[in-house]
Structure 1
């Protein structure tokens, strides 16, 4: 039994006690208190295309069923990603844009510039490095003593791999995770808790650090060195993106996008996978008995966890969806976390079933032109992590309910205490 964590956060009402039209699915407390499932369940059942006329993020439509989300996500001609993909709008004093917040053709040009970093040959080359790094991390963990899995494992592995794909100074790798948290943590974007001054300083540090790295890559290329397959080298050497450094809003925005994309999916799925194996011990027993289920379990965990809860769009014209008229200019929020629990498409969606048929059919990576570029890298990191866990440990016991991120965008964990039981000799 996982013990609860006491909290000073406000108490949320029962989802079924509220007028349907007043339900605010963007409330970050739904996620930090892990109450989001019941709220989304009610809206999915009773009003799947749900309009909220007043929220801290302005009026918006919530799309909560699987098939409706796919319909929006695959129709970029009607549902635009511009100017931003989080439910809130950026602070105008820190203007940012990035390719996930663009429509074709500019989106296609900028995405193509960095796509090859996760090409199959590069992923194959990374596999041994990932295994080496997660093995070293796991071998240094205390056995039989409670410790924080998030900081010791999930954040450590993702920071190491981010440093690799950016060719960022390894000794400063933890900055990458911190910058990711600051990029998504503004109250006006996600209901997060990042203070404006701290966030501005962090993003300024990020831009300055990557400007220095960009200039080093440019000098190396001009001196005749071959172009490396790291993200900065690829952007600096590509005709469509090599002048991005002269456009600060794009430079900052794309750096933030690539860091968040490389951090949050993997980091929170690694933590969520351990939590899931505690909540569903029969599935953990099944996994220990048959480690060949790990690849399928990875897809199931990414569905169940849904590391990024939503993406937003703007309607470019009036359109009917689910019997509702969405008007030109309306904000439309696709709640991936809700669609991944839609029993109309997924049997027993609140359960983790590691041998689920068609487990890869989930929304966590999105659909259409904005489908997650690094999905295979994230899956590979989670797969290798569990291959190495099962070699070493009979149990990874969660000691209490984890502390969750206060955000309606990042569906993740800030800490989780665990205790390891080593594998019997």
Structure 2
């Protein structure tokens, strides 16, 4: 196909990346991720132009950083590469984008993160394990053996929604609001998700704010709780956040998405990976002790959030390319996690991979995912309980994915479960 023909296409899902001139590469295009073809595009960039400038796109000009080491360089240099304003590609002042601590620089970032970090810290994990296991058993025991059902709906969403409610001490009867608000938060045109209008998104997020404002006022002055809202409402550094409703909402959006997307999509992505690599599933059946290591490999393989954005605060030379002050810099974690220069046989799903936790999915530096251990714990327990019950979770139909460059989401995955 000639470039003049490709230019006329609405979608690049079926386009060969070697038919597109490098200077026309636009990795913001959501159809590349919905169709799960993004990796072959990244493979060319890593080989030929690992720090790549896209001059024209629907989200404006941006740099794509695609190699493991270059991503790590950007992610750990928060003085030059700022998170202030947005961590997502193309988000501008016209977008409803309440501030939150992951999109802030030091010292504000450190103050706000430090307040809620214990909610996903080691002490909290020891209390959560029995709760997670009990819920996992209830979910798995209720699955319709011998019938086709949607794993995303019956297992992944149900487990992560329940855990979100625990972390927020949120009313269980309304817990599905949390999943809905997570999906609304990431439904932004700039990342390719057009599922709702900008006006409707703002309206629904303001409803989220109102719901949590009521919870805040109920918990202010009560320091006994260990949930996110109680910690924010009663810590000296954040007790006045209620008077800054947009910052409160922004942090709610961050914590809800952080507690939802990584785990939910890895929970589905792991089943799919084991179906795609049946020899690894057989290895797991023969040695369930590999589950802990496999969890890290699942999170690398899925890379639930394929990118994070930074903005250059000064001119900086990266891999012989001069990034200018004010430029939009995108770290493509999904690409770095397939970089053979850093991860041997990165295009293989290997559940006993040495050093499996050395991946990019949680980021590096001061913005490293706060809830990474909670996500790993949920996945480990879920797979321990799956393997007690089922010899095979079989994918039996078309897998549908989210049109988004910010969330590698699996929206539907029909399966059948086969007991031992």
TM over 0.5: yes
Task: Tell me the alpha carbon deviations over residues 356-413 of structure 1, each in whole angstroms, 9 at most, x when there is no partner.
Answer: 0000000000000000000000000000000000000011000123100110000111
Which ranges in structure 2 are unaligned for 5 or more consecutive residues?
Answer: 1-9
Q: CA RMSD in A?
A: 1.3
Distance 1:286 1:192 in 2: 41
Q: Indicate if the aligned counterparts of 1:159 and 1:177 stay in contact, CA closer than 8 A.
A: yes
SS of equivalent to 1:241: coil
Counterpart in 1 of 2:31? 29
Q: 2: CA distance between counterparts of 1:50 and 1:324?
A: 8
The reply on whether 1:317 has 2:314 as its aligned counterpart is: yes
For 1:59 and 1:90, locate their aligned partners in 2 and report how far apart those are by CA, in whole Å: 12
Matched-pair contact (CA < 8 Å) for 2:223–2:231: no
For the residues of structure 2 that align with 1:381 and 1:210, how far apart are their CA atoms?
25
1:287 paired to 2:289: no
| TM-score between the two structures when normalised by the length of structure 2 | 0.96
Could you say which residue in structure 1 is the equivalent of 2:151? 149
- Tell me the residue number matched to 1:254: 251
- Superposed, 1:348-359 pairs within 5 Å as 348-359=345-356
Counterpart CA distance in 2 for 1:103 and 1:110 is 11
Q: 1:362 to 1:23 in 2, by over 3 A?
A: same
Aligned position for 2:202: 200
Deviates further, 187-196 or 407-416? 187-196
1:70 maps to: 72
Higher mean C-alpha deviation, range 345-354 or range 91-100: 91-100
1:196 offset after TM fit, Å? 2.1
1:204-239 residue CA offsets vs partner (Å, 9 max, x unmatched): 111011011111111xx2xxx443110000000111
Work out the CA distance in 2 between the residues paired with 1:111 and 1:229. 15
Change (3 A) 1:138 1:9: farther
Q: After TM superposition, give the deviation of residue 9 of structure 1 in Å.
A: 6.9
Change (3 A) 1:298 1:106: same
> Are 1:184 and 1:192, in contact at CA under 8 Å, matched by a contact in 2?
no
**Pairing partner for 2:293 from 296, 304, 307:** 296
In the TM superposition, 1:176-187 aligns within 5 A as 176-187=178-189
Distance 1:408 1:93, change over 3 A: closer
In structure 2, relative to structure 1, the CA distance for the partners of 1:18 and 1:189 (3 Å cut) is: closer
Could you tell me whether the CA contact under 8 Å between 2:223 and 2:230 is conserved in 1?
A: no
Alignment of 1:106-145 (within 5 A): 106-145=108-147
CA distance in 2, matches of 1:178, 1:111: 24
Q: What is the aligned partner in structure 1 of residue 334 from structure 2?
A: 337
Give 3-state SS (helix, strand or coil) of 2:331's partner: strand
Secondary structure in 2 matching 1:311: strand
Q: Could you tell me which residue of structure 1 aligns to residue 225 of structure 2?
A: 228
1:188 paired to 2:190: yes
SS of residue paired to 2:340: coil
Partners of 1:345 and 1:392 lie apart in 2 by 36
Query: Would the alpha carbon gap of residues 27 and 263 (structure 1) be closer, same or farther in structure 2, given more than 3 Å must change?
Result: same
Equivalent residue number for residue 86 of structure 1? 88
User: Does structure 2 conserve the Cα–Cα contact (< 8 Å) formed by 1:91 and 1:188?
Assistant: no
CA shift digits 1:231-253 (9 cap, x unpaired): 00000011111111211221111
Match of 2:177 in 1: 175
Which residue of structure 2 lines up, in the alignment, with residue 272 of structure 1?
A: 269
1:48 is the counterpart of 2:50: yes
- Are 1:326 and 2:328 counterparts? no
- Tell me the distance in 1 between the aligned counterparts of 2:381 and 2:132: 7
State the secondary structure of the residue aligned to 1:325. strand
Q: Is the CA contact (8 Å cut-off) linking 1:193 and 1:406 kept in structure 2?
A: no
Cα distance in 1, alignment partners of residues 195 and 65 from structure 2: 26
Cα distance in 1 for partners of 2:92, 2:158 equals 29
Aligned length: 411
